[in-house]
Amino acid sequence: MPRKRKRSRSGARHARNAGAPARQQAAGASGAPERGKHPLDNWILGLAAAGVLLTGYLTLTAWFGEHPAYCGVDSGCDIVQSSRWSTLLGLPMALWGLLTYAILAGLAWRLRSRPPAWGAMLLFACIGAGVSWFLTLVSVFEIEAVCEYCLASFVLMNLLLVLTLLRRPLQAREQGWRKALQFPVGAAIVVALGLHLHFSGLFDPAAGPEDPYLKALATHLQDSGARFYGAYWCRACQEQKALFAASAKRLPYTECAPSGPNGPLTAVCTVQDIRRYPTWVVEGRRLTGVVDTERLARASKFEWDATAQEKAPEG
């Protein structure tokens, strides 16, 4: 009797083990959550972390006004990093990349235990790759300069997209590629198109291409020793800058009240006895309030040479 009972238990255990693969296959077919570490998880997380470090470094150098390592003055890297495409909504473009990589890193970690996170990860990977392609094309064909750091980010983001596609969980495979890619690819196209319209000046003229006349006048004011004194909180000062649109960054501007309306004036504004904003000092003359471009041109003896400006490259 004991021997028969032992053989009976052994047979039952063998039957359970034999049925395990069938149950796993049935669970996969029924759409049960796929859990466990995937061979690509560490690669995806590592690439996202590398992107965070790269864009974090570029963000810090942009905020502190420094040049990245091996990015000398007037080099291709410096030209790209100082172009109008290097900022978006007043923030360094590198910061937007940092946020994207950070989100991808968080989703990659979550994907280890939550397969549904793959959909969100594919969305951000597609948008990141789309923006990276847009900026790289602008760099090559519009700016005509190449930044090694930007190319490194381009490679990282596209590798992340490829690995994310290869990491597709079982549940997503039931949808098919067309349904899985429809929204992420559409979102990437919309974001890239929005960036194109933004930098064309449709939404904000200051972000668009520079008007040759305003660019030349702003450069002349800077070179002639004229000074524009103002405050960041001064509405009239913002109106003055708006007259120069995308060329406002070239104006010889001096901030007088960095501590706010109730703060002390800077030393240079105290010496110049600045009492109203904006105040221009042009050829020894003081001009207060918002001054139109024609008056500034006359006061600074600016002569417009359209032919010479057409030959000058955009800076």
Judge whether 33 lies within some domain: no
Q: CATH number of the domain at 301, please.
A: 3.40.30.10
Can you give the residue range of the structural domain that contains 125?
A: 41-202
Q: Could you tell me if 227 and 135 lie in one domain? A: no
CA distances from 226 to 25, 124, 240, 286, 301 (A): 78, 47, 15, 10, 11
Contacts of residue 129, defined as CB under 8 A and 6 or more positions apart, other chains included, come to: 157, 158, 160, 161, 188
Number of domains comprising the chain:
2
Return the structure tokens found at 224: 């002639």
pLDDT at 31: 42
Determine which helix (DSSP H) or strand (DSSP E) holds 314, and give its type and residue range: none
Q: Using CA atoms, how far apart are residues 132 and 54, in angstroms rounded to an integer? A: 14
Q: Domain boundary at 178, 202, 226, which?
A: 202
Q: Could you tell me if 195 and 53 lie in one domain? A: yes
Q: Quick one: what percent of the chain has pLDDT higher than 70? A: 85
Q: Could you tell me if 95 and 154 lie in one domain? A: yes
Q: Could you tell me if 163 and 239 lie in one domain? A: no
Q: Could you tell me if 139 and 226 lie in one domain? A: no
CB 247 within 8 A of CB 222: no
pLDDT at 282: 95
Contacts of residue 313, defined as CB under 8 A and 6 or more positions apart, other chains included, come to: none
Q: Could you tell me if 197 and 225 lie in one domain? A: no
Which SS3 state, helix, strand or coil, does residue 302 take? Answer: coil
Q: Could you tell me if 196 and 304 lie in one domain? A: no
pLDDT at 20: 46
Q: Could you tell me if 96 and 195 lie in one domain? A: yes
Looking at the DSSP bridge assignments, the partners of residue 229 are 254, 279
Judge whether 18 lies within some domain: no
Judge whether 102 lies within some domain: yes
Q: Could you tell me if 280 and 299 lie in one domain? A: yes
Judge whether 298 lies within some domain: yes
pLDDT tens, position by position, 209-230: 899 999 999 999 999 999 999 9
Q: Domain boundary at 179, 202, 225, which?
A: 202
pLDDT at 1: 47
Contacts of residue 158, defined as CB under 8 A and 6 or more positions apart, other chains included, come to: 129, 132
pLDDT at 71: 87
Judge whether 30 lies within some domain: no
Question: Which DSSP state fits 143?
Answer: I
What is the value of pTM for the model shown?
0.68
Q: Residues 70-73: contacts with CB within 8 Å, 24+ apart?
A: 70/148, 71/147, 71/148, 71/149
Q: State the pLDDT confidence band at 21, using cuts at 50, 70 and 90.
A: very low
Q: Could you tell me if 113 and 47 lie in one domain? A: yes
pLDDT at 55 over 90: yes
Return the structure tokens found at 113: 């235990």
Q: Using CA atoms, how far apart are residues 315 and 219, in angstroms rounded to an integer? A: 11
Q: CATH number of the domain at 172, please.
A: 1.20.1440.130
Which one, of 234, 85, 186, 89, lies nearest residue 145 by Cα?
A: 85
Given phi > 0 = left and psi -120 to 50 = alpha, else beta, which region is 302?
beta
Q: Could you tell me if 160 and 260 lie in one domain? A: no
Judge whether 266 lies within some domain: yes
Judge whether 3 lies within some domain: no
Q: Are strands 253-255 and 279-282 parallel, antiparallel or unpaired?
A: unpaired
Q: Using CA atoms, how far apart are residues 32 and 295, in angstroms rounded to an integer? A: 73
Q: State the pLDDT confidence band at 109, using cuts at 50, 70 and 90.
A: very high
Judge whether 24 lies within some domain: no
pLDDT at 307: 67
Q: Could you tell me if 148 and 238 lie in one domain? A: no
pLDDT tens, position by position, 245-296: 889 989 999 999 998 888 899 999 999 999 899 999 999 999 999 999 999 9
pLDDT at 145 over 60: yes
With the C-alpha atoms ordered 246, 250, 251, 256, is the resulting torsion angle positive or negative? positive
